[in-house]
Amino acid sequence: MRSREIEDLLRRLAPRVLGTLVRRHGQFDACEDAVQEALLAASVQWPAEGVPKEPAGWLVTVAGRRLTDQWRSEAARRQRELNVSTDPSPDEDLTRHVDDTLKLLFMCCHPELSAPSQVALTLRAVGGLTTAEIASAFLVPESTMAQRISRAKQKIKGLGFPEGPERLPAVLHVLYLIFNEGYNATSGPDLQRVELTAEAIRLTREVHALVPADGEVAGLLALMLLTDARRATRTTAAGAMVPLEEQDRGRWDRARIDEGVALITRTLAGSAPGPYQLQAAIAAIHDEAPTTEETDWPQILVLYKLLDRMAPNPMVTLNRAIATAMVHGPEAGLDLLASLDEDKRVAGHYRLDAVRAHLLDLAGRHEEAREHYREAAKRTFSLPEREYLLRKISG
């Protein structure tokens, strides 16, 4: 096996091994350090000696021995050391490591943590990103991100694994947040952060493999694939933002579209639709349309109405207003948009002004549109979006 293949294997195994150790021994920090040492040992030994028959078991054993060595040096833990078993028992089913990946995700998405802490801890513990990489993605100093992750670990210390299927929505929400931040960065010089979208898709695939019958997991994976399929056409070579209607659809990733469409088609046929499935269905309609004009906007509007009833939030209403304008005219879209003017959740958000400006442009009210483009440009922290909005003012 080549070095790159070994690196990919270790990346996939790391969260399973960490989940197993935390389940057995607790002490998140100590287990994480031990796993990192085991991964380092494997990256040195496996290319020369070959990958062991049970690579997950090998990593668990080596990491467990690192823990034992650490505890052996601490007199206060000598008694505990006597009760610790680090080698997997011969009859242990190593497929439990797969279940431990999901349990580790549950722990990182513990309800006691804030959403930013859940995202950071998930990327660190399950995604394998370094603290520096996470800090760079969210444009904060590495020391700040290190403190956030450390506080998150301390907060969940001793709480154990949250159990039960009711915790799965929290995991999906965190993966959704990671993907969205990667696909449309909230701030900084780049519109997209590919490392985050790639990691969100990888982790969602892991969850889907663990619970393949769950419709919302499949829906979220389909949504990510169908959305990410447009990534290469969303910016110019110079990094300037390109809106959906101006993108070269011939350059969209057809393999991802086909996979996403097949996934959401099977899912909708086998279960009652949830919010992620509805969003994936909308994305599929966009991706399968040859042009913006040939897009099935009436069907998209129906899906947004369902989504607005099922999971109402201002961002859904914003998108529904656009679909309404495409079906019933821009004034109808503006009327719906007016319902958000008193909604504190979206007050001051640049997207409200940006969508209103777009609909005013469609209605021929260009001077009013320029005012709202100007306001939106002031409020966004994304440089590509700000430059795009400023171009709309002058154009």
Q: pLDDT band at 96, cuts 50/70/90?
A: very low
pTM of the model: 0.77
**Where a domain ends, among 72, 89, 106?**
89
pLDDT at 250 over 60: yes
pLDDT for res 298: 97
- Mean model confidence pLDDT for the chain: 85
Q: Which residues contact 95 (CB under 8 A, 6 or more apart)?
A: none
Q: pLDDT band at 164, cuts 50/70/90?
A: low
The alpha carbons of the chain give a radius of gyration, in whole angstroms, of 24
Name which residue leads in pLDDT, 137 or 201.
Answer: 201
Q: Residue 274 falls within a domain, yes or no? A: no
Q: How far apart are CA 120 and CA 394, in angstroms?
A: 39
Q: How far apart are CA 180 and CA 145, in angstroms?
A: 19
DSSP label at residue 312: -
Q: Residue 383 falls within a domain, yes or no? A: yes
Q: Residue 337 falls within a domain, yes or no? A: yes
Domain that holds residue 393: 314-395
Q: What separation in angstroms does the CA of 290 have from each of 244, 263, 277, 299?
A: 12, 21, 22, 16
Q: pLDDT band at 217, cuts 50/70/90?
A: very high
Contact between residue 126 and residue 13 where contact means Cβ atoms under 8 Å apart:
no
pLDDT at 76 over 60: no
* Selection from 80-94, 174-188, 323-337 with the highest mean pLDDT: 323-337
What is the domain count for the chain?
2
Comparing C-alpha atoms, which of 296, 139, 292 is closest to residue 230? 292
Q: How far apart are CA 182 and CA 177, in angstroms?
A: 9
Q: How far apart are CA 68 and CA 176, in angstroms?
A: 37
The region of weakest confidence among 86-90, 127-131, 155-159, 255-259 is 86-90
pLDDT in tens, 273-325: 999 999 999 999 999 999 988 999 999 999 999 999 999 999 999 999 999 99
> What helix, strand, coil percent values describe the chain, rounded to 5?
75, 0, 25
**Where a domain ends, among 34, 57, 89?**
89
Encoding tokens for residue 12?
């996939």
Q: Residue 144 falls within a domain, yes or no? A: no
